[in-house]
Amino acid sequence: MKQIMKKIYKVFLPTVLGLFLFSTVASAHVEVTPKTSTTGDEEVYTVRVPSEKDVPTTKITIKIPAGLDFDSVEPLAGWNFTTQKGSDGKVKSITFEATGQGILPEQFQRFVFIAVNPNKPTKAEWDAYQYYKDGSIVEWTGDEGSDSPHSITNIVSESKADQANILPAKTEVAKTATTITNTLPVILSVVAVLLSLVACVLSLRKR
């Protein structure tokens, strides 16, 4: 009986750990904050870049959404930055490139810059391109719900921004509901595995 249980644990534990690990990795992506900003403001934007592979991230390019005007970037040790301008002379993208090891596996890095928001409400879609040391590129340009979504900042008028600040609890509830929805399939899978294990043990005991 002990040998049978050992065999079950060898199969069962890696399966459960793998399911939770997959759900954690799948939820990580390049994210730009804040998620809500005000029209006409000079906003400090932060880009969070996780390294999701077994090789370092060595470069990240962020496209400046239409209507926003890039102002300046915060220097970061171990990284150089360059900007690319369009025919109108405005900065269209920022590229941060590592001078050292870059973002190692199981690490993340924040990049900070200032941009001036447009005077009209809009949704700023932050397309990003993540370059790994092995030459692979992950394009964070998809819509919400896709495998590689771009981050979005809702730029709203001052009155709507104030209203959003008054009701932070609703936002937190919505985030919690989304988290539960995203992890529900994983939880159900784990429960199914547990039930199968219990049935297997009971069957062996009857023998």
Give the domain ranges of the chain: 2-24+174-206, 34-156
pLDDT higher than threshold 80 for residue 159: no
DSSP state letter for 155: E
124 in Cβ contact with 104 (< 8 Å) = no
Q: Dump pLDDT digits (tens) for 172-181.
A: 545 555 544 5
State the pLDDT at residue 201: 57
Work out the number of other CB atoms within 10 angstroms of the CB of residue 81. Answer: 16
Strands of 128-132's sheet in order across: 79-85, 91-98, 57-63, 128-132, 137-140
Question: What's the CATH superfamily of 34-156?
Answer: Uncharacterised protein YcnI-like PF07987, DUF1775 (2.60.40.2230)
pLDDT higher than threshold 70 for residue 35: yes
117 in Cβ contact with 153 (< 8 Å) = no
State the pLDDT at residue 158: 84
